[in-house]
Amino acid sequence: MRSAGGRGEIKVRRELQSSECQGLPTVQGQGRRRGTHKDVFGSKMASSLYGVLFAVGLCAPIYCVSPVNAPSRYPHPSSTESTPASLVYSLNTDFAFRLYRRLVLETPSQNVFFSPVSVSTSLAMLSLGAHSVTKTQILESLGFNLTHTPESDVYRGFQHLVHSLTVPSKDLALKMRSALFVKKELQLQANFLGNVKRLYEAEVFSTDFSNPSIAQAKINSHVKKKTQGKVVDIIQGLDLLTAMVLVNHIFFKAKWEKPFYPAYTRKNFPFLVGKQVTVHVPMMHQKEQFAFGMDTELNCFVLQMDYKGDAAAFFVLPSKGKMRQLEQALSARTLRKWSHSLQKRWIEVFIPKFSISASYNLETILPKMGIQNAFDKNADFSGITKRDSLQLSKATHKAVLDVSEEGTEAAAATATKFIVRSKDGPSYFTVSFNRTFLIMITNKATDSILFLGKVENPTKS
């Protein structure tokens, strides 16, 4: 698998007091919010309205990683104890499936792939600078009941998540980072700046947006470098109205615990797209012991394949005509049920070798999930900057996924295990992912879904 790199971007657009504002209404004399308070800096100039662009992209490979050793700084919370971290992990999973269902509606009969943890982390970071209804809508869309959950617990939980996903491992490359690109003239609130650095370990870069093409190149270069070239050109169309961009990127790279042997990959295997169309794909193949089971309630097969390190991939194959039933039932509870009920057994498995990517304009999707004020004139991001009003103008997510048998240890390790079994050897079940299936990449330590998708057509990259 290649990379799935995620990131969130906040693009802040300034509403110029000019007739050349591209159709935007002129806003006179704005203070802290919509002209009801005086400018805290005492400026005689009318405050300006900014729009905020939020973009997310991601990258996840499944092959060899360079060994890195470092002790974990944070203990993993017990699955039975209720902590801010465990609450965030559980709610993130439900948010992942809610967003998945929305993306399926927006892009029917297409491949779906995204990093829910990157999107939720970016929204949580954005909420640090939001006030009133804007903050409430963001946090409630993530699943938090603010009547029962203190806001401080939300941020402590995400802080733990960010730290847990950035601890180096000798077997797994998993890096999630955030960056703020801020217009030189934009004066950020000290509290917001301190929190994004402390809670999210975010980097902050002073950026000259007077030349949009240079600023855009700087941001795209940063993300490309951090995702090892997997996510490119995530930012497009910056203009003179841009004042701030927030980026969250996630990179995952790992080796299969039981890798495929390339010599056994079948080069031209039929894969059913929809009900009648057949395409041909390279199909990886092996016989091994994997955690596997049949969910009779949801009419699907579930295969868990572990990576070296604290990560696993779930491949879910519903019975024909049962995909919609499966999609509607997906929840944190469903995933926990699978994790606890799958049993190790001999499996002959066929999985496509494929590469897919997906891009989404989340500004059309997040309002349907309850985040509405952030995208209109009622937005209150005065926690980011009091001098200028901010409004979320765009939310972009880009994801890339490669699944393959590659890895420096793959050939040797698998060649010794892939043997012809005698007739009296162990019996095995054959499962072929030769039609639409779901894929989830999870972090075991946090029970978090790093990447989630549906493969409709593995030949469509």
pLDDT of residue 68: 30
Distance between CA 345 and CA 240 in Å, rounded? 59
- Domain 262-352+428-455: CATH superfamily is Alpha-1-antitrypsin, domain 1 (2.30.39.10)
The more confidently predicted of residues 180 and 110 is 110
What is the mean predicted confidence (pLDDT) over 111-129? 91
What is the mean predicted confidence (pLDDT) over 437-446? 91
For the record, the structure tokens of 241 come out as: 């109205």
Tell me how far CA of residue 16 lies from CA of 47, 151, 388, 440, 452, in angstroms: 10, 35, 12, 44, 40
DSSP state of 77: P
CATH topology of domain 13-255+356-402: Antithrombin; Chain I, domain 2 (3.30.497)
- Kindly list the domain boundaries of the chain, sorted by start residue: 13-255+356-402, 262-352+428-455
- Residues pairing with 279 in the sheet: 271
The H or E element spanning position 270 is strand 266-273
For the record, the structure tokens of 402 come out as: 């490669």
- C-beta separation of 302 from 342 below 8 A: yes
For the record, the structure tokens of 190 come out as: 């000290």
Distance between CA 359 and CA 59 in Å, rounded? 12
The more confidently predicted of residues 99 and 43 is 99
**Hey, which of 138-142, 228-232, 393-397 has the most confident mean pLDDT?**
138-142
Least confident of 74-88, 124-138, 330-344: 74-88
- C-beta separation of 119 from 8 below 8 A: yes
pLDDT of residue 15: 38
pLDDT of residue 445: 85
Q: Is the pLDDT of residue 417 over 70?
A: no
pLDDT digits (tens, 9 = 90+) for 285-325: 999 999 999 999 999 999 999 988 888 999 999 999 999 99
pLDDT of residue 81: 52
